[in-house]
Amino acid sequence: MTRAVTRTVSIEIIPTPSLGDRSYLAHDGEVALVVDPQRDIDRILTLATTHGVRITHVFETHIHNDYVTGGLALARRTGAAYHVNAEDSVSFERVKVQDGDVIQVSGTMAVRVIATPGHTLTHLSYALSDGGQEVGVFTGGSLLFGATGRPDLLGPDHTHELVRHQYASAHRLAGELPGQAEVLPTHGFGSFCAAGSTAGATESTIARERRENPALTLDQEEWIARTLAGLDAYPAYYVQMGLANSSGPREAELDRPEPVAKELLADRIRAGEWVVDLRNRTVFAAGHVPGTLNFGLDGQFVTYLGWLIPWGTPLTLLGDDAQQVEDAQRELVRIGIDRLEGAATGEPQDWTDGGLGHFPVASFADLAQVRHHRPVQVLDVRRDLEFGESHIEGAVSIPLHQLFSRLDELPDGEIWVHCAAGYRASIAASLLSAACRTVVAVDDSFSNAEPAGLVLSRAA
């Protein structure tokens, strides 16, 4: 956890890199408030204990689309007031807040509520005051670092209305907050909730955003056109999150899953259940239980597993050790996958009495060399916008999130699958291997494709 300090009020950043989000704990040394907590609230409780502070207020910027909130559970555990927009339709008791409200958290800290629709219709931001001076603003999915939250998560019927709201909200924040105020977004660190690139920024101020954020430097119509043109697919599990958060999710349960014997693993694979291997893609390719799928915990594990798995499918995890399984389970409860059928740890030889599956791993240079000698099918599993920008001539485009339902579109023969850096290709290769296809996983940066001698087609 990294830490930023603003005068007498400290703001603790609680990152969730796997989802590209941040939560915040702000305190004056005695009293604390929390903004947009993730579901695994034990991290926040531990942080509060470390700093010797008492959590009295919890704030939600919006009904989240990309994770299950821990806000209600945290408020119930601590006795804190739970602040949610009065206009949100929810099934639990909360403190209803609206534009213009000021909540005095302590003698030092106060929070001003600012309506900032755009990411959702009822989105709020919270300006944090320290001794009467606004020193930061929790912007949720409104103003991000060099970007904004995407406006299309409520469906196409609302997108054009929301994108105009988002532009206006960014300008409102830039106009009302002092330049030195910190910008403290929830999204924008790899989250699919961001529209536009945040360029890896880790901190910003209102003054910096005024200078650099396209939402504040471009004409409205130009910005809207660019924003809409840049929207691509987002994870399918997002559709589940709004309902879960409006219903008042319970606290996450992280009890260790039941151990699973090899005989039962085989039965589950035959039954079409998902048995997911958490190990690194290189070791998976070298040897794995046939029929298992590889979602390495060292990448965007929960985003892609949540995106691809048919919601409600029974899930069993395989990992190097108990810690790897525990870490994966923590990631899964953040998106509402609470129930695991079980888990097994060790090595592939411990998980099956049969032979192991494997497939080759190669580079773009290897692909270029092979294409000089024999025809192979190249499968590009990047998203549509990535493929449209540039791709290998002759490659077939099936974005990873569509592959599970489109396997029958692939021709017979050897398939070389690639993405931008190797992680998505490894997931795709495991899907193809489980479907008994002959596959080679390209574990390489796409920037190496053209220098390796592969001809690229580019957008005009």
71: nearest Cα among 247, 237, 236, 194: 247
Position 2 scores a pLDDT of 44
pTM reported for the whole predicted model:
0.94
Residues 28-86: tens digit of each pLDDT:
999 999 999 999 999 999 999 999 999 999 999 999 999 999 999 999 999 999 999 99
Residues 81-105: tens digit of each pLDDT:
999 999 999 999 999 999 999 999 9
Q: Tokens for 84?
A: 């949610």
Contact 158, 217 (CB under 8 A): no
How far apart CA 391 and CA 429 sit, in angstroms, is 19
- Own/partner pairs, 188-191, CB within 8 angstroms, 24+ separation: 188/20, 188/144, 188/145, 188/147, 188/149, 189/15, 189/17, 189/20, 189/21, 189/22, 190/17, 190/19, 190/20, 190/300, 191/19, 191/20, 191/21, 191/66
Domains of the chain plus CATH, in order, are 3-246 (3.60.15.10), 262-350 (3.40.250.10), 361-458 (3.40.250.10)
How far apart CA 283 and CA 454 sit, in angstroms, is 27
Position 198 scores a pLDDT of 81
* Dihedral pair phi/psi, residue 26, rounded to 5°: -110, 135
HSE of 212, CA atoms in CB hemisphere, 13 A: 17
How far apart CA 219 and CA 197 sit, in angstroms, is 18
CA angle 417, 423, 428 (to 5 degrees): 40
HSE of 35, CA atoms in CB hemisphere, 13 A: 30
Residue where the block lists tokens 């070298």: 286
Q: At what angle are helices 423-434 and 301-308 packed, to 10 degrees?
A: 40
Distance between start and end Cα atoms, the chain: 44
Residues of the chain whose pLDDT is less than 70?
Answer: 1-6, 460
